[in-house]
Amino acid sequence: MTTILITGANRGIGLEFVKQYAADGAEVIACCREPAKADELKAVKGKVRAMALDVGDPASVEALKKELGDRPIDILINNAGIGGPHPVTPGTLDMEAWLNVFRVNSVAPFLMALRFKANLKAGQKKKLVTITSVLGSIAESGGGNQPYRASKSAVNSLMHGAAKDWAKDGILVGIFHPGWVQTDMGGSGAPVKVEDSVKGLRARIAELNAASSGSYRDYSNRAIPW
Ligand SMILES: NC(=O)c1ccc[n+]([C@@H]2O[C@H](COP(=O)([O-])OP(=O)(O)OC[C@H]3O[C@@H](n4cnc5c(N)ncnc54)[C@H](OP(=O)(O)O)[C@@H]3O)[C@@H](O)[C@H]2O)c1
């Protein structure tokens, strides 16, 4: 049976991943900050275990690792993410808020990858997936939203490096943009339904192989220039 760990699993894209993978019969380790309050997550049928994880808190990552021990993980999906702060002007630049975006969007996915690398190596599929954004593309940048954009460029760089560094361990790395999706982050006016985004992302994850590891693609398989 495939075991999948998902961060930010209580709402949005993360919750939809849980629903679709659970419906397929996978065993899902669904991580979120407050499992006790995650009613929608707890209502998902199947082999779903809600577990506490604040990705921005190394002690929380450590506690999860302690609880899971050496248990094999086939697919680790770094999905949790935050937007803002914006606008960024000289009078409004909030250093702590900016650093928090990097903490959650850039450093945390890499910390998760490092901490659960042995679990991934012990799994059958060995897939490390990060949900990034097209806004992390420097080549396609239209400016604005600087902290979020830069945090996603940074995680792209870290995951591209992991694909190179961990190829010898058989670990495959996916760096995927979900589209502009109807979630709390994307807003109700976004063009892509969360079900369609996750369907596409799951197809990208399923076809991830040694040749495509480390590439930057969207949910519909468009290759995004760095
Ligand atoms: N929606 C889009 O259009 C879009 C486009 C490009 C990329 N993305 C990326 O897709 C991913 C999912 O986005 P979404 O649209 O589903 O956003 P969302 O609806 O705002 O959900 C974000 C999720 O991340 C979790 N989270 C935030 N900070 C966390 C932390 N410190 N520890 C653990 N979980 C944390 C949230 O948990 P809480 O409920 O506890 O806050 C929530 O489950 C993000 O990485 C985002 O950057 C989204």
pLDDT tens profile 42-53: 999 999 999 999
Choose the CATH number for 3-218 among 3.40.50.170, 1.10.3720.10, 3.30.450.60, 3.40.50.720.
3.40.50.720
Coil, helix or strand at residue 4:
strand
Please give the pLDDT value at position 89: 77
Is-contact 162 128, C-beta < 8 A? yes
Q: Which atom of ligand 1 sits closest to the CA of residue 78?
A: 45
Of 89 and 35, the one with more pLDDT = 35
Decide whether any atom of ligand 1 lies within 6 Å of the 147 Cβ: no
C-alpha torsion 155→161→164→166, nearest 10: -70
Question: Model confidence over 11-23: pLDDT tens digits?
Answer: 999 999 999 999 9
Sign, CA dihedral 148-149-151-155, equals: positive
Does any ligand 1 atom lie closer than 6 A to the CB of residue 107?
Answer: no
Strands (E), 53-195: 75-78, 127-131, 172-177
- List of E strands, 47-108: 47-52, 75-78
pTM: 0.98
Tokens of 191: 């063009």
Rounded CA-CA distance 182/152 in Å is 19
- Please tell me if the CB atom of residue 79 comes closer than 6 angstroms to any atom of ligand 1: yes
**Are the CB atoms for 73 and 125 separated by under 8 Å?**
no
Q: Where are the domains of the chain?
A: 3-218
Which atom number of ligand 1 is nearest to the Cα of residue 82?
Answer: 27
Q: Is 216 a catalytic residue?
A: no
Residues counted in the chain: 226
User: Do residues 81 and 55 make contact, with C-beta atoms less than 8 angstroms apart?
Assistant: no
